[in-house]
A and B are shown apart, each in its own frame.
Chain A
């Protein structure tokens, strides 16, 4: 028998969550002995109702309502500037509520049961223990398209140096990012608790003088990923009608958020006809690029760029150019082309 759904008996006495019986969260009838009657009205996913947890974890549940994992508003923020006012209204009604909202995370997805991906779930994380964290069985599934396999090297490439050193997601990310702090942010870029390379690797601590110089010279000019992203990451090429065909690649160009900075770009899956089925043409499609800056989770100390300054200054290896740019993309893509100067000796 598949054991993924078996509840650990020993937990029932120890763990305060089970004091009031299964019905507290799952409803159903615990007075009945037959399966049919006992399961009548039972909830498979109790934490869809935040009150299941909120009765005891009041603060967490109250904050969580405003967090990005709950609202998934980040996905709306990402596309909304392509829409006219009328289109945004259609989007909110037809697409956002029906499609985007459905992939929000419940408390249970991070603490009790691996979220189903493509209809398949690993079942309970640890026999119904309410785990604080278990990244490989929680975050890994929802972020299994890109972040997680890039991080472990399963996507093709070396594992991120931090994985190699035994670090997992929560060694950099903080729970406040996920539970929220009570403010309804519109995008991940507004979250004050998000991690930053610099907070753990301040300038001046490098072992070699040349490294210190390289870092200082590029401060505010090249992001850490620009030099330290170790290998190709997932890009959405050739996407049609929202169905993505992903392929590996590394693309260097200007950050759409800060045009002075060279960074790693990722091709996102929104193309001209993505929302055509919903009757949205995207009037301002050209105003927003198809490439976005991405914190690639595949950091290496040594890459072809840390080894050779000319990789950028002369060869422009992996740089976005007119030729490599996707066809029929947004006009704004052209603003992302970066041509670094040759180094003067």
Chain B
């Protein structure tokens, strides 16, 4: 039955080996969305131009992203029988330089290199996987991203791709569920529900049709794990879908992907066509009895449409609004039929588990959280990017080892996980292991993998306000606690950041927060108060400073800071007075200047304009403590 696939695999492997041992150099350029926004397509063009100009031959290949956002665009050059060398922040000028020095000449330009990849070593360049950013990472789900050409199915197949599907076709659906159970895989989309259990419910339900939906909505602000995976390795997700489809008895799959992901959609459409052409999707897959079709559905990008029942409504062409559960989608979902919704990454894990076995998957992780997980590590951190780590790693390792510590060596303040549904974890909990249960115990959630690092210059009230503003706008508006409660909390937070709140308001925030949490209909509302409740729990003093002293210790909230000119430093150069948009600065030339606090709108322009050699403007937390002059003079 799989003869045809074996033949395809053999040819693919041959082609792959030929590419690896080619006698001309290989130049891989990361052109996922992240690379493109840093100028990767111009870099591809530059390489092509420089190669042509010199009459050089090379394989110029566009690949996905290896996750080092701070170093994009990234290029990996492999000369015959040499390890590959990765270069960071490549621009067209550097491309020309590299072609000249390394391809024409033999100087790998170590100063631009991030590290080497593959066997052998190059003097002065560390193997990439030994560098701090990769050392603690275990790249499995993202293993092929940035390595294979995502538009070529044979590169996926040559690296073990679709082997999991072949195995799944050889055993019965119960056997597949058994394997997933043994692996300990829990959903990567947010809630961490055991994948096998959900499948079992669906498998136990009798129906003439069942559906499998891949949730690629990825609505958390700042999250891009799923996008990178879809752009860098789309077949992994399709393979996982087919396996899941067989396990639950579905004959139709949907990928619900936001329309704001044009490249991911393009890659998915291309991959879908290739998989169909090779008999890996469609009717009678690889000669078996199993039929499984996949359709791609574009979503308009509402956060709430990532919620299962709202997503189903959206696919059905209705307004994306959650509906009460039960009935659970596994029993009655899309078009009233049993439906399983799984996250992109969950499905990619499914493919790996079937390829390599449950034990292989469970090698990493903790007792209750198995395997590896991707995270988008962002914020005030030296190395932002997409990382994949074994579950159970500590937050400290993530921030200080992988992320290289806080930007500009400022003190670490908090890390936010789980996006708008998550919470902020303070410094003394930095040794919390990253697993579903420990994060929940700390008041936050793992979510789909967003991690935002914050330093002393982040105001925690302002952060809570930011997330609430998001959930408030994204609430579908259907149920009372979420629709009105998130707005109420936002209004109170607005007042706190503007110094208009009373001490009782903290109680109000907590009361309403608990009501929204316990009373809302869907996960959006139930988790929306988390950013507020955790910041109150861990950073109460900051709330108190805003409310009682009318002061923002992080100097973020405009109404709660003061700009002041230090008389002993001011030379009366008039620079600040000229730029102040509110005409709030008074003082004659060569005389000490003073800010009229009544007029000052706290825009901070004076602070920026005062030449550093004087440094006469200072920003203070809190309200002005000295009388305000109405005309010039010294305070």
Same complex for A and B? Answer no
Residues in chain A within 8 A of chain B (CB atoms): none
